[in-house]
């Protein structure tokens, strides 16, 4: 992999220059420490040399300024060696993805697979875990503010929407039911299981009551009661013809 460093810039808060390195996914900052010892040493040396030379008539002050050199408190640049030293201080907080070659902070990197979260083979699993975590936080906040029922209603609506959506088994892309191939990668889509109303036969799309006739919808059987074949939402068993009950 590339031995380059992540994006960085040099700053100085009045002590000495330091480097700020950025996660190339989320731009989170990681700062190195300025060399305080170098600043103190330079300051002492400047004062000693300046004090000795400034007593020389006419040109002593100018000579003292030139000999003392730059003041580290105002330097806004670093040598290659200083940048490398700064990078050594913070690089434990970064990982480089072997696919996209971007330097990522640990929040954007899947250590288990060794890839950034966008390129990780576990990205669906990670996304689901993060969604569950976010849902838990929202549920906690909703409970604290007395909004539990409202959030529950939103969750039910989201589940119904997911139940009526086709999903790509490869990249996880969602699309309208009936979409045959993934619009992102071309893989054949997995269609949602059709939940049929026991009264009128309409697709209930996961609702508790039929959107066509209002009849209550019991949990639809997934297997034939006679031969055990998968029904896949059919009214009659595709193997033996037995009516789904």
Within a 10 A sphere around the Cβ of 82, how many other Cβ atoms?
Answer: 19
**Quick one: DSSP state of residue 43?**
H
- The dihedral built from the CA positions of residue 158, 160, 162 and 165, taken in this order, carries a sign that is negative
pTM of the predicted protein model: 0.48
Q: Which residue has the tokens 């002593």?
A: 60
User: Following CA atoms 113, 115, 117, 122 in sequence, which dihedral angle do they give, to the nearest 10 degrees?
Assistant: -30
Which pLDDT tens digit goes with each residue over 69-96? Answer: 567 788 889 999 999 999 999 999 999 9
**Quick one: DSSP state of residue 15?**
S
Contacts of residue 160, defined as CB under 8 A and 6 or more positions apart, other chains included, come to: 205, 206, 207
Q: Provide, rounded to the nearest whole percent, the portion of the chain with pLDDT above 90.
A: 29
Q: How distant, in Å, are the alpha carbons of 15, 44, 65, 66, 234 from that of 12? A: 7, 19, 21, 22, 70
Which pLDDT tens digit goes with each residue over 182-209? Answer: 998 888 888 776 667 777 877 776 677 7
- Angle subtended at Cα 72 by Cα 71 and Cα 75, rounded to the nearest 5 degrees: 95
The CA distance from 209 to 212, in Å, is 9
The CA distance from 209 to 219, in Å, is 11
Which pLDDT tens digit goes with each residue over 112-155? Answer: 999 999 999 988 888 888 777 777 776 777 677 766 666 566 65
């Amino acid at each position: 992999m590339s031995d380059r460093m992540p994006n960085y810039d040099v700053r100085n808060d009045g002590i000495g220059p330091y480097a700020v390195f950025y996660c190339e996914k989320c731009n989170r900052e990681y700062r190195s420490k300025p060399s305080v010892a170098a600043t103190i040493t330079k300051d002492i040396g400047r004062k000693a040399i300046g004090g000795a030379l400034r007593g020389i008539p006419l040109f002593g002050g100018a000579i003292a300024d030139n000999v003392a050199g730059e003041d580290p408190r105002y330097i806004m640049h670093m040598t290659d060696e200083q940048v490398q030293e700064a990078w050594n201080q913070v690089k434990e907080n970064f990982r480089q993805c072997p696919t996209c070659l971007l330097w990522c902070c640990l929040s954007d990197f899947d250590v288990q697979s060794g890839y950034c979260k966008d390129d990780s083979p576990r990205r669906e699993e990670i996304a689901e875990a993060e969604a569950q975590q976010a849902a838990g936080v929202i549920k906690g906040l909703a409970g604290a503010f007395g909004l539990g029922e409202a959030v529950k209603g939103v969750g039910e609506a989201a589940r119904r929407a997911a139940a009526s959506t086709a999903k790509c088994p490869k990249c996880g892309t969602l699309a309208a039911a009936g979409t045959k191939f993934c619009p992102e990668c071309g893989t054949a889509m997995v269609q949602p299981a059709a939940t049929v109303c026991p009264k009128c036969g309409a697709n209930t799309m996961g609702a508790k009551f039929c959107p066509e006739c209002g009849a209550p919808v019991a949990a639809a059987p997934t297997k034939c009661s006679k031969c055990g074949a998968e029904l896949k939402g059919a009214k009659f068993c595709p193997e033996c013809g037995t009516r789904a009950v």
